[in-house]
């Protein structure tokens, strides 16, 4: 573990800057903006930032044209739910964004239900409704989290997932519209394709994951993860193998029909891939064996741990770090420089036994030895690096859950490095406060103050909602309340009690907005109640947007597609008042915090 030096220390960063979680995926657009994915709920203290996925401008400021909900920061309406995790991103030539990971809903469930594990967003961050929105058998469920995406030149998408055990497919290819490409690795009957699996180990069924995908220039597909068979064939190269363009096994890549080794050990996992121009392949992860040759710690190694290079045929390139022990921990990310040097990120604190190796991110020379011109003896990030990208200008962007670099506080979760591994000067957006944050803090206090004066009945524009005060959590949301009731203006019970999720949003001690979600079978009942409350002027359609002088209503439900019926009601007058007040405060904040020329 390397120590920080005074010369490597950076200026202290204020608390609350950066991400309040972890960054796992980065996708740079041609205009220099970057889409960021991971598990987080705010950026630079701004709770209106889209949760788990957002976009930054070139200067590091939050791009508020991307799924930004400035006036809904208290309701969690933007981005993914609290279970959400974005693991993979792919940018299409038309600017649309493929997103892989795990989630339950997007934008608080308001609108169509997104496909599970993989969705496509429009360039503004809204859900692309043309992409597999209704879903297809064996596609929207995926059996678990989507870990890896590879976009082909023809627009087709290769998808790798977690939690495969041979009972369901953990590697598929999709057509550009999100439908399943049934020409991919298809025998006479597609249902017999089971993807990757792992044999029993220590008496139990093992999880087989696909962690990384990489397209070769010839169209062949490199696949990395933890598996020992593909479609029942155990002759493949375990944990790192190659497929032909049609998804069949490339038997020129370390294929042995009579392979008899033991099942893949529990800690064997390839997490990262990089392809050299000469066709050699860099792999990173947690290695215990390779072709039945085991790592031996404390002795002359038979093979290095953590990162190695393969020849184009899948055999080990023994000229790469030939006498080294490799890393002391797992490697999660790799990036190749034009000069052949290799950037390595993960949880590593030592390489080839050298404890002065920079922690978590370091660089190798083309022969696999440590490059001591890159932040040597620097402490590096204080937590593991999950993703790294080398930019065309030579700078390196790293993402993870760290908050310090070389011992100095930095904007949490994401950092740009110079080519020598020193921290680049803080981007403008990471060094200045977001004016929306101060406004959110002030208005958050006003909203919270309303709860101290509330009883169990809340009214909005002639309609009352009732739910037990004890059901309200996080001051805005009552999850899965079993006895939510909706009354008409004359106190007649219109619907309830029903199982519902209800959100109550206040401003200046008054109820500004109500959000209701009920199971699909209760959808007609909810619409009937709203019609009773607001009269015959409210249409009886499956999707309704309706305005009166006092209230705005949005209702959506399609029994053929949706599991829930959603209704959002807000007071037009109070919303206009809040919007006007917030904008005035934002302008005042900017005026008071803009340096004079």
Q: Could you tell me if 170 and 180 are in contact, meaning their C-beta atoms sit under 8 angstroms apart?
A: no
SS3 589: helix
SS3 454: coil
Mean pLDDT by 10 residues, the chain (597 residues): 40 64 96 95 84 92 84 59 91 96 78 77 91 54 78 95 62 89 63 46 61 96 87 81 93 77 60 97 84 52 82 92 91 97 96 95 97 96 96 94 92 93 73 64 47 36 46 36 49 53 60 71 74 63 66 71 73 71 65 56
Q: Could you tell me if 24 and 39 are in contact, meaning their C-beta atoms sit under 8 angstroms apart?
A: yes
CB neighbours of 178 closer than 8 A, spacing ≥ 6? 115, 118, 120, 131, 132, 133, 136, 139, 157
Per-residue model confidence (pLDDT) at position 431: 56
Per-residue model confidence (pLDDT) at position 115: 75
- Which one, of 507, 512, 514, lies nearest residue 450 by Cα? 507
Exposure pattern of 515-547 as b/e (b: 16+ CB <10 Å)?
bbbbeeebbebbbebbbbbbeeebeeebebebe
Residue showing tokens 């004890």: 470
Asked if residue 497 has a cis previous peptide bond (ω within 30° of 0), the answer is: yes
Per-residue model confidence (pLDDT) at position 585: 65
CB-CB neighbours of 212 under 10 Å: 26
CA distance 96 to 157: 13
Per-residue model confidence (pLDDT) at position 397: 95
User: Which helix (H) or strand (E) covers residue 592, if one does?
Assistant: helix 572-592
Return left, alpha or beta for 154; rule: phi > 0 is left, psi -120 to 50 is alpha, else beta: alpha
Write the DSSP symbol of residue 363. E
CA distance 46 to 433: 9
Per-residue model confidence (pLDDT) at position 209: 85
CB-CB neighbours of 137 under 10 Å: 8
Q: Could you tell me if 342 and 307 are in contact, meaning their C-beta atoms sit under 8 angstroms apart?
A: yes
Q: Could you tell me if 185 and 246 are in contact, meaning their C-beta atoms sit under 8 angstroms apart?
A: yes
Per-residue model confidence (pLDDT) at position 302: 62
Per-residue model confidence (pLDDT) at position 15: 58
Per-residue model confidence (pLDDT) at position 140: 45
Burial class of residue 548 (count of CB atoms within 10 Å of its CB; 0-12, 13-18, 19+): middle
User: Where in 162-226 does DSSP place strands (E)?
Assistant: 171-174, 196-201, 204-206, 209-215, 221-226
Burial class of residue 191 (count of CB atoms within 10 Å of its CB; 0-12, 13-18, 19+): exposed
């Amino acid at each position: 573990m390397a120590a920080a030096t005074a010369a490597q220390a950076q200026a202290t960063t204020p608390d609350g800057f950066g991400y309040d979680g972890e960054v796992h995926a980065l996708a740079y657009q041609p205009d220099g903006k970057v889409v960021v994915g991971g598990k987080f709920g705010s950026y630079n203290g701004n709770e209106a930032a889209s949760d788990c996925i957002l976009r930054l401008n070139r200067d590091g400021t939050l791009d508020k044209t991307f799924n930004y909900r400035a006036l809904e920061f208290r309701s969690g309406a933007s981005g993914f739910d609290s279970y959400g995790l974005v693991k993979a991103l792919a940018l299409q030539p038309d600017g649309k964004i493929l997103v892989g990971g795990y989630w339950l809903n997007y934008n608080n469930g308001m609108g169509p239900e997104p496909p599970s594990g993989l969705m496509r967003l429009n360039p503004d961050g809204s859900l692309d409704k043309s992409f597999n929105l209704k879903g297809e058998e064996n596609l929207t469920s995926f059996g678990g989290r989507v870990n890896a995406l590879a976009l082909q030149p023809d627009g087709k998408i290769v998808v790798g997932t977690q939690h495969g055990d041979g009972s369901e497919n953990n590697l598929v290819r999709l057509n550009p519209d999100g439908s399943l490409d049934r020409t991919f690795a298809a025998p006479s009957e597609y249902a017999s394709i089971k993807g990757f699996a792992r044999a029993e180990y220590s008496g139990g069924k093992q999880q087989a994951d696909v962690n990384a995908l990489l397209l070769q220039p010839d169209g062949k597909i490199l696949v990395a993860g933890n598996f020992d068979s593909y479609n029942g064939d155990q002759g493949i190269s375990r944990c790192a193998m190659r497929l032909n363009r049609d998804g069949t096994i490339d038997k020129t890549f370390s294929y042995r029909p009579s392979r008899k080794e033991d099942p893949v050990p529990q800690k064997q996992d390839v997490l990262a891939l990089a392809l050299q121009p000469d066709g050699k392949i860099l792999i990173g992860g947690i290695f215990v064996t390779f072709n039945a040759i085991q790592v031996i710690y404390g002795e002359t190694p038979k093979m290095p741990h953590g990162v190695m290079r393969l020849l184009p045929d899948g055999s080990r390139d023994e000229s790469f770090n030939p006498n080294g022990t490799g890393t002391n921990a797992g490697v999660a990310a790799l990036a190749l420089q034009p000069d052949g040097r290799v950037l390595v990120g993960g949880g590593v604190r030592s390489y080839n036994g050298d404890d002065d190796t920079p922690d978590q991110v370091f660089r190798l020379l083309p022969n696999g030895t440590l490059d001591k011109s890159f932040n040597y003896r620097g402490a590096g990030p204080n937590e593991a690096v999950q993703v790294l990208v080398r930019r065309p200008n030579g700078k390196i962007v790293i993402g993870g859950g760290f908050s310090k670099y070389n011992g100095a506080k930095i904007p949490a979760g994401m950092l740009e490095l110079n080519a020598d591994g020193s921290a680049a000067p803080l981007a403008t957006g990471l060094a200045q406060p977001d004016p929306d944050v101060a406004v959110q803090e002030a208005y958050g206090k006003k909203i919270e103050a309303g709860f101290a004066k509330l009883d169990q009945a809340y009214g909005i524009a002639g309609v009352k909602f009732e739910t037990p005060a004890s059901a309200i959590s996080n001051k805005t949301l009552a999850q899965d309340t079993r006895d939510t009731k909706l009354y008409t203006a004359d106190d007649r019970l219109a619907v309830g009690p029903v199982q519902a999720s209800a959100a109550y949003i206040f401003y200046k001690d008054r109820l500004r907005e109500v959000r209701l979600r009920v199971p699909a079978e209760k959808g007609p009942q909810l619409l009937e109640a709203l019609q009773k409350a607001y009269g015959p002027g409210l249409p009886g359609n499956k999707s309704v947007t309706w305005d009166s002088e006092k209230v705005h209503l949005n209702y959506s439900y399609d029994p053929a597609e949706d599991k829930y019926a959603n209704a959002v009601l807000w007071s037009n007058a109070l919303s206009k008042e809040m919007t006007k007040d917030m904008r005035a405060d934002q302008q005042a904040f900017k005026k008071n915090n803009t340096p004079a020329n």
